[in-house]
Structure formats: C-alpha cells, structure tokens
A and B are shown apart, each in its own frame.
Chain A
Amino acid sequence: MAKQHGLIAKFDTPADIMHAAEKVRDAGFKNWDVITPFPIHGMDPAMGIKRSLVGRFTICGGTIGITTGMLMIWFTGGSDLSVPLMEGYKLIVGGKPYFSPQFAFPVSYELTILFSAFASIGGMFILNKLPQHYHPLLKYKDVAASSDDKFFLYIENEDPQFDEEKTRAFLGELGAVEIGELEE
C-alpha cells in the first residue's frame, strides 16, 4: 500500500458534518478540510476559517492601477521626461492642458479595475496554493459521492496532533458512518 496521506470520514447530512467540523475545530486540528456537494451556510465559522485575505491583494492592485494610469498619461502627454526606450512628448489635445487629472481619470479608473481584478485572481491562486493539479482525495474510492449526496471530512497525517489510532477513534465519535484512508 502507498503512503498514507490522512484519514477521511463520511457523513450523511449537512447537520452531521457541521457539528463534526465544530468539534474538529475545537480539538485544535490544523491540516484538515471538509468536502461537500454544495456550499453550507455557516460552515466557515464552524471550521474556524477567518475572512479571506484576497481583499488585501485587491486594494494593492487597485492602488497600483490608478497610479499607473495617472503616471502613464502624465508621462506620455505632459512631460519631457526621458527614460530608456521611451520619451515623454508634450502634446496639446483638444485645447486642454498638457496634463489634467480630469481626462486621465477614465483611463486610471479602468486600470484600477483591471489591476484589482488581476490582483484578486492572483491573490486567490496564491492563498489557495493553486495551481494544484492533483490531490490525494481524488484517489479515494467514494470521491464521486462528494459531488452527490455525501459529506466528507479528512484530517492529514501532517497535522501536528495526528495520531493514527486516536484520530480514527475521534472521527468515530463524531458520528461518521464510514472511516477510510487517503493515499498519497
């Protein structure tokens, strides 16, 4: 048999998995997750998951976006600045000043949105440790049921508190209908 990755427990109802998650959270496990066929409201607090940090990436992206837009338009139309490969060229368009935040705003605003979106997607990938093309869970015999009508909870070997016998007994106490092993 291949190396063991963790223990997986099967539950029949959303309520069972929710209570189980609360107990696993309170027991202080770190490397564990819950697999359900649909989002269960209240699962985040039940698992002790804090609010996502994606917003931090978004605000950085947005700030860089608006700065880029303003600087780009000022550089191309309102400055004589010379940098490698590029040169600013003062240009009057439509009788307006060389540079004015008014006309730079639509472009800066679009770049704010674009960079925010990029940063959000990038941040989501980083925080979720993506891309991850394979997960031991996919080898589990019953994995298809997790997208149908069964609810799963697994605890990884890597968890500091993990102990083959104790954890198996603990999962049994949670009301799991079946306990299996995940292979690496």
Chain B
Amino acid sequence: MSADFTPNPKKWLTLGIAGLAVSVIGFFVEPQIAAWSYLIGLIFITSIAIGMLFLVMIHHIFDAQWSVIVRRQAEHYMAALPYMGILFIPLFLLTYLGGNEGILWLWMDQGASLHGHGTVGTDVLYQKKTWWLTEWFFWTRAVLCFSIWIYFGSKFRKNSFSQDEDGSPKHTFSSRKHAAIGLIAVALSWTAAAFDWIMGLEYHWFSTMFGVWMFASAMRAALAVMLLTIAFLVAKGPLKGILNTKHLHDVATLAFAFTVFWAYITFSQYFLIWNANIPEETFWFNDREQGIWWPISMILIFGYFLFPFLYMLQFPLKTNFKSMTFMAIWLLSMNLLDVFFNVLPSLKDHHGEPFQMFSSVTNIIWYLSAVVGAGGILLWAYWSSYQKTKIIPIRDPRIQECLNHNH
C-alpha cells in the first residue's frame, strides 16, 4: 500500500461550504431559480449516496464475492446521508420563511393561481390528491425517508467497520438480514422521495414508472462515481495491485446494465404516455419539447443511452481504467443533465410556459453552486470516512475470494 497518498477532506469541506454559500446568496438574489437549482443539486448528490446504499445491500443479499473491496468505497459514500438530511432543511425554510409557500412545490400554496383555470385549492386534480399532498404529511415523509436511509447506511457501515476489529462473521449475517429488509424499505422510501420531490413539482402529472426511473438514475450515478473512485485509488496507489481489471470489468458491466435498464424505464414511461395520449399525462412531455428542452431530450437519448451503450458494449473499453474514467465522467454529466431535464421544466412562468434552462447566463451560477456545494460535502464525508478505516475490509469472510477474483 502506498503511504505517500494522504487525502485532504478539509479541502472538500471548504469547497462544499463555498458552493452552499453561493447558493444561499442566490436565495436572496434570485430566490426561485436558486431554490430549484438547490433542489436539483441536492437530489443529484443524494441519489449518488442512495445508489451506493443500494449497491451495498445488493452485495449483501447475494453474498457476493467479487465486490468486497468495492463495497468498502460505497460504505464511505453512505457517510454523506446524514449531511444530505441536514441540507434538506433549507428547502423547508425556503418554503415557510421566503414569503412564497409555493416557491418549490406549487401545491403548498393553495391560493396560487394556475394559468387558465383558477387556483390550486380549486383544482380538482389537487383535491383528489390531497390525501398524499398535505404539508404535514409531506415533511413527515421527508424526515421518515432520511431516517430510513441514515439508519441502514450507518448500520452497514458499523457492521463492516466492526468486522475489521473483531473479524466476527456475525456482522456479515447482520448485514445480510438488514439488506433483505433494507432493499424493500429503501426502494419504497426512494420512490416516495421521487414522487414528492420531483413529481410533486408538477402535481397534475401521473406516472407509476417514476420511482423506478429514480432508482435507475441513482444506480447510474453511483456506479459512475464508483468507477471514478476506484480508477483514482488505483492510479494514486492505495488500491494498486489489489483491485484489478476483473473488478473494474464487473463494475463497468453493472454500469452498462443500468444504462440499458434506465433506457428501458425511460422509454416505457414515455411510450405508455405517448400511446395512451391522455392530456393529464402528455403535457409533461409537451413541456419538455419546448425551446431548449427539445435538443436536451435528444442529447439524453443519444448521449445518455446510445453512445454509452455502444461504448460499453466493447470488452476492451470496459477493462481499461482510462477509457472507463472517460465514460464515468460522461455518464455523470449526462445524469446531471437528466435531473435538470426532469425537474426544471416543471417551473412555469405566468403564461404556463416551461422555464428555459439557459434563459439567463447568471442562472448557471446557481445551477453549479448547488451541485458543487452538495458534491463537496459528499466528498468530504467520503474522505473523512476513508481516513478512519482500513482501505479494504481485511476480515470479511469473502475477502480472499475477492482478492483472487480472476474471471
């Protein structure tokens, strides 16, 4: 192992705080755009941590061998979940202290006028959904979701790190049982988060696929970050000679699999709505064909599906750290664009027209500040956790099989 590589978590904390500070300035300069950008950044970064949580649970439920040393990196990223919970609080404050309760989720302002037909309170589609879209219930769900994620995240971390100390297999069994329950609990809570935080922005819309879409999105984001992490750790030395191209191939294959899965889900959602042609559903895609959103939707089809699909279809590219580093950066950028595509057009102007992403250059500051802010916190949590523990789970019952992984 290399001793000359020492991470510096404080650097990332500084970057995170700087980004968040810019976002807070944005809340005063351009409240609505900054608030939506902040929501996008938070969802994007949280989805990385949630994807890592899914990866760890999938590892435990299958009693996997190959991913033991990869799992340790995912465990570090899960350390960010409590901070993501804290970063959610500003959304609550923005809603109730900003003077406009509908700043993010329009339905929270019953008196908000809708273009062409009355107010939210008199809207039949809202009235039919009040049992779910009630403010106390919404915030309770958010707290509940974060509690579930933080509980499972810290449980898997604790089990794994305790095993480094005492080497007892009971931690593995505990993790396996928790994974069985956790997969269901996190799947449901992440679906609820998708419904609340993104679909709730446009409460008129219906889509049963959306929770699964959010799962696919989180997995793709997490796998891209995982590819970057292992490529970095191998290049810098700590995992050199431990993590080989066979491990890389497996992570890359998962990234490839979720590329296909994401395309399947995204297309199915579009296709069912396109085929049924019901106005309450189609408007969501019509909005996303206006102005800049049309080229962006094309970029997503070809850049987030077709290109990565054809690229990762090739064995030599999947087993090379450099080529997968490029693909991981590409996937992560496309993932962020996809989150923008799903969130931002739900913001409407007074004429009911969707907000255009590049209508003003200064908006780009708020787009980036939130991602950099939450991303800095994520990396700070990762490197802080990284420093405190062993680089690989040295006493995991499957560690030897993982190190000898050769197929």
Contact = CB atoms under 8 A, between A and B. Distances in A.
A103 B275 contact: yes
Contacts of A94: 275, 277
B275 A51 contact: no
A166 B271 CA distance: 68
Contacts of A106: 271
Interface of A: 41-42, 51, 55, 59, 94-96, 102-103, 105-106
Contacts of B406: 41-42
B64 interface: no
Which 9 A/B pairs are nearest by Cβ-Cβ distance?
A: A41-B406, A41-B407, A102-B274, A42-B406, A102-B271, A51-B315, A105-B267, A103-B275, A95-B277
Contacts of A95: 277
Nearest to A103: B275
Contacts of B364: none
Nearest to B270: A102
19 contacts: A41-B406, A41-B407, A42-B406, A51-B315, A55-B315, A59-B313, A94-B275, A94-B277, A95-B277, A96-B275, A102-B270, A102-B271, A102-B274, A102-B275, A103-B271, A103-B275, A105-B267, A105-B271, A106-B271
Nearest to B314: A55
A42 B406 CA distance: 7
Given A59-B313, A94-B277, 12 more contacts: A41-B407, A42-B406, A55-B315, A94-B275, A95-B277, A102-B270, A102-B271, A102-B274, A102-B275, A103-B271, A105-B271, A106-B271
Nearest to A100: B274
Contacts of A105: 267, 271
A51 B66 CA distance: 21
Nearest to B404: A41
A131 B301 CA distance: 42
B294 to A, nearest CB: 15
A72 B271 CA distance: 20
Contacts of A102: 270-271, 274-275
Interface string B236-273: 00000000000000000000000000000001001100
Contacts of B407: 41
B135 to A, nearest CB: 38
